[in-house]
Each structure stands twice: as structure tokens, then as C-alpha cells.
Amino acid sequence: MASAANTNLNAVRETMDVLLEISRLLNTGLDMESLSICVRLCEQGINPEALSAVIKELRKASETLKVSENCTN
């Protein structure tokens, strides 16, 4: 039983490592934690294209906020 759990855990880690490498090749800017969250959301039925759009909007908003903070300082 423990051997099957270890095998499954190793498969999950290997899959996440491959996904992280693909993510890096595509310059997504996602770290392992963010990528894991995205994968879990997709597994729960979230539309990947909608998730991508939200991430892009959050990045734009973050950049705008950083620029406005730099202008006020």
C-alpha cells in the first residue's frame, strides 16, 4: 500500500516538474506554487483560458500599481 502511494507521489512530482519546465520554456513567469494552484483550479473545472486572462489582468493591475507608487515617491 505504501509503495503504491510512493509511486503515485513520485508520478505527481514528475508531472509537476515537467509542467514547470514547460512553463519556463513558455516564459509564463509562474513559480511552482502558482503553477500548482493553476493546475488544481483546472482540475476543479476552471476554464484554462479564463484563468490565463485573469492572471494577465492581475499582472497588469500589479504593474500599474507599482508605476503609480513609484511616481508618488
**How do the domains of the chain map onto residue ranges?**
1-71
| Contacts with 28 (C-beta within 8 Å, 6 or more apart), sequence order | 35
Given a contact cutoff of 8 angstroms between Cβ atoms, the answer to whether 35 and 20 are in contact is: yes
pLDDT at 30 (0 to 100): 95
Look up the pTM and report it. 0.80
For residue 36, count CB atoms less than 10 angstroms from its CB and return exposed for 0-12, middle for 13-18, buried for 19 or more: middle
Distance, in Å, from the CA atom of 6 to the CA atom of 36, rounded to the nearest integer, reads: 19
3 state SS of 28: coil
Given a contact cutoff of 8 angstroms between Cβ atoms, the answer to whether 54 and 46 are in contact is: no
Mean pLDDT by 10 residues, the chain (73 residues): 84 95 96 96 97 96 91 81
